Amino acid sequence: MSGNALRDLNVLAVPGLERKSDGSSKGSFIKPYIENSNEEVDRCQKDSEVNIGNNGVEAGNSEVEYIESENLTDLPDVDSSLNTLLARLDSKDWVSICEALNNVRQLSIYHKEELLEMLGVVIPLIVRSLKNPRSAVCKTAIMTCADIFKVYSDSVVDSFDPLLVQLLLKASQDKRFVCEAAETALVAMTTWVSPSLLLPKLQPYLKSKNPRVRAKASMCFSRSVSQLGLEGIKAYGIDNLIQIAASQLSDQLPESREAARMLALELRAIYDKSHASPGEDCTHLVDSDSWEAFCQTKLSPLSANAILRVTSTPKEGLVFGC
pLDDT, tens digit (0-9, with 9 covering 90-100), for 208-253:
999 999 999 999 999 999 999 888 998 999 999 999 999 999 999 9
Phi then psi dihedrals of residue 267, to 5 deg: -65, -40
Asked whether 176 and 138 are in contact (CB, 8 A), the reply is no
Asked whether 97 and 62 are in contact (CB, 8 A), the reply is no
pLDDT, tens digit (0-9, with 9 covering 90-100), for 162-198:
999 999 999 998 889 999 999 999 999 999 999 999 9
* Eight-class DSSP state of 12: B
3-state secondary structure of 205: helix
Domains of the chain: 1-193 (1.25.10), 197-322 (no CATH)
pLDDT, tens digit (0-9, with 9 covering 90-100), for 83-104:
999 999 999 999 999 999 999 9
pLDDT, tens digit (0-9, with 9 covering 90-100), for 125-148:
999 999 999 999 999 999 999 999
**For 79-83, which contacts have Cβ atoms below 8 Å and span 24 or more sequence positions?**
81/106, 81/107, 82/107, 82/111, 82/114, 82/115, 82/118
Please tell me the predicted confidence (pLDDT) of residue 230. Answer: 87
Taking alpha carbons only, the member of 215, 208, 216, 229 closest to residue 189 is 216
CA–CA separation, 259 and 228 (whole Å) = 16
